[in-house]
Structure 1
């Protein structure tokens, strides 16, 4: 039994984590390790993508898959503790999610724009809009569960 409200579009726009080109990928091929049409590198690396201001906007606005963002800073102990768990979560969440890290110290404009008051903070974006937020460090299982639950 299929539910027409739950069907994925025939193809999705995926922003390349390497060159930021927008690629159209058939939904059925999302898990088949697609490569960028421009730079020929993998569209999904199984690791968080470090993004700064201009690149960040393109990824959240042009990607048809949800973008999970970790706002963090290198001096933050809980951020450093969560980093390996976030990397593990990226391996499990891709290609259904783009998993991103934003250094709030380097990208202070983004931290201000999204009113990041504590780090680490996870934020989930869909269609260019923030749909969920969770401050505080989590392990990989909880990151995956939180992202999946808030993507419904």
Structure 2
């Protein structure tokens, strides 16, 4: 029975929740703050909440490393948000502004943006640099076992 429980970090209070695997797609609320575990928007990561979300989640976390001055980043943003809607309960989509929060970007040696990194339980599973559209993001996730 415990194999069926997945660890999911709350996007609101950053507390760890255990959710039955079959209930991931249906959402659910955080046991601590009672907010939805799968809100409709992409999660904004910071230097403070980056490690809990990428390091403690059994659900893969796809992080878009971006900056506000980056033209390709701006073009990809709506595509990233659209892709996120189709992966609810399967992959957490998150963004990290590398200008405002340089420490995680430095830790993962981000040299070009946008760069996508797929994490699970603190491990980097895959990396892709360059802007992608929704279909390319979906295909990339599928090719990486999601």
Which range, TM-score by smaller chain?
A: over 0.9
1:27-46 → structure 2 map (5 Å cutoff): 27-46=21-40
Alignment match, 1:51: 45
SS at match of 2:117: strand
Among candidates 58, 69, 73, match of residue 63 of structure 2: 69
* 1:30-85, Cα deviation, whole Å (9 max, x unpaired): 12221111111110113210001120100111111111010000110000000000
Structure 2 residue 9 is matched with structure 1 residue 15? yes
Moved over 2 A (4+): none
Q: Give the whole-Å Cα distance in 1 for the aligned partners of 2:114 and 2:3.
A: 33
Per the normalisation by structure 2, the TM-score is: 0.95
Q: Confirm or deny that 1:104 pairs with 2:98.
A: yes
| TM score, norm. by length of structure 1 | 0.91
Counterpart contact for 1:121–1:134, Cα < 8 Å = yes
**In the comparison of the two structures, how many residue pairs are matched?**
145
Mark the runs of 5 or more structure 1 residues left unpaired by the alignment: 1-7
Shift of 1:111: 1.0
Q: Which runs of 5+ in 2 are unaligned?
A: none
Aligned to 1:136: 130
In structure 2, the partner of 1:4 is: none
